[in-house]
Structure 1
Amino acid sequence: MSKIYVYLLLGLSIIFSFSCDYIKNKENAFSITFSHSQISHGTYITALIQHSQNSFDSVKFSIDTVSLLFPYSSSNSYQIPTSALTLGKKNITTNIYESGQTYSFSNAITVVSDITPVYPKYTVLNTYNHAIDAYTQGLEFSGDSLYESTGIKGESSLRLVQYKKGSILKKIDVLPEYFGEGLTILHDIVYQITWQAQTGFMYDKASFRQIGTFSYGTEGWGLCNDGTFLIMSDGSEFLYFYNPETFSLVKQIAVYDNAGPVSQLNELEYVQGYIYANVYTTNFIVKIDAATGKVVQRINFSNILDKAYMHDNIDVLNGIAWHKTNNTFFITGKRWPILFEIQIQDSVAESKPLM
């Protein structure tokens, strides 16, 4: 190898090293701070950019699919709106442009709901007997017919219940290796999911004949539908919207109140643009805006079941069904002896601290 070639390589490596060091030093010359690490949806984030030279050409902020380009401002301050963002944890990518160079930075923020949930009162209208062997995981009306999915391996089932008498009109058992979870009914098909097997079952509503299976990529907890999509929870703060024909994931939304994420979302019921969800291990049901994921109500059922009905195998509140004709809700719990018909008094509510 000639000395000239060696010198050439050495020179190029020095230039490359100098260039990298120059860019790195330039990046270090920028200081970026944001006014909030957690911010309410709809408010502005203030970005403050300081630079040793006090000038650059422009800056672009990218969050989700939203990108905003600003020319250099002598105030060093930039207002970033959040109204077009979804809720949840976000990454802000900042690209600063100066003399043909791009300097990139990454920061994390969390967008929470701008709504403080209210705590509405409710009225118990009727009580009915409920099978205490039913480890209730899903509950839904089709007309005046109540369908129930139960859990526990070896005990899981799909049931048609005569709720006024507390009797079971029809029942099929799920294979013992599966732990039954939520159910929903769409176009005369009953969809039932399972907990950790990532497998769901489809049944003819009239006969309970199994007509298919489907799969999903998370645990299965609760299930409902909005007339178009199957909506599933997995115990996290996310709700997943699936195409019922292809079972492909269409979208997901994060569920937040004004304090942060609301997780442990279990049994679900869709009602007129809102999703009602049991919060597992608690006595709360939350009302969620299905379009935004914002929690607008927290309904406390701590004292609904009298202590006289407690027994050794009783478990937590779980099960929500909306009776469209009556415009009432039916709620129960895992191995609860009572099914409650209630009216939620949306107009009588007050804000309270989170519990």
Structure 2
Amino acid sequence: MTAQTSQTATAPLFHLAGTGAALPGPPVDNTVMDEVFHLSEEWIDAFVGTRTRHFGWDPVTGAATHSLADLCAEAAVRALDAAGLEPAELDFLVLTTATPDTLLPTTATAVADRLGLNHLPAYQLQGGCAGAVQALDVARALLAGGHRIGLVVGGDVTARFLDAGRDVAGLSSQELVNYVLFGDGAGAAVVSAEPLGEGVAVRSLLNRFTGLGRPAGQIVDWHGAARPDPDRLMMFEDYKAIEAQVPALAGEILWELLESTGWRAEELDFLLPPQLSGRMTQRIVEGLYAPAAREVSCVAETGNTGNALPLLQLDRLLPEMTPGAKAVSVVVESSKWIKAGLTLEKPREDQ
């Protein structure tokens, strides 16, 4: 067991002072998906279980309406407002995404510019569903190194990977599923070394690559002006492998996180499960033992927003936490199999 997963709950790693979320435009329901892409509402509901999603582009014309920087800056402002802080009080920014607006300059620096930040570290991580936890891990190290307050932002947009004008009838199932799984959005969290604002303590954090020798469950491609193989898929999802492996991985993560804090499953007040899709989340929750925990999920309304998802869940969680409440966030990234998660507690006044 690594040092990160063996830390006890005697002292918080850091605190969440405030969170924020940003979703572009009105929700796009399955009726619209049927009209635009000719994907039946019944099939989407039975296979994926996602009712609505938000796009930073017009699904009819394909025209972009929101950039990743737009969404990340909006979520960041809301997180700062929730924490009662000004941008000038931040010591660092960490942004994570699989779909940056440009390779250079980084979206992290674009967001820093929009927030009026200068003369501070602005990091960008390339990640998938576990990216938010990876960014929080970087923030943990920065806070441990002497910084006081920082901002973590995660988000994704799908405009360059899903073609509004394409006839999807001929697509393979590995590519077609991406049209119904994903949505766009961003989430943000203000983190602090000492309790501020919401003052939710992060007791332990799991961030571990576990994909040695295992085929990737998802591939998101990219290319420049030259594309030597025009038949390469831009997005590939091995949904069957994900269905087979994610529930078991989620169970392993839950028990590792409980062990790291010395908590019992019966003590949990909230469970934040992996958010691949509505149907998959339902299956995972049914297999996890947390008998008193209330589920905190958003994927059925937001679609799979990648790097934003754990932060969107935290944004829903924090207002619900009362003193003494305990929560576990379980995150699985299937791109090359990463285990991630958090244990969180709202301290009582006497703690």
TM range (shorter): under 0.3
TM-score by length of 2: 0.23
Report 1 or 2 for greater relative contact order, CA contacts < 8 Å, sequence distance ≥ 6: 2
Larger radius of gyration: 1
Looking at secondary structure, tell me which structure has more strand per residue: 1
TM-score by length of 1: 0.23
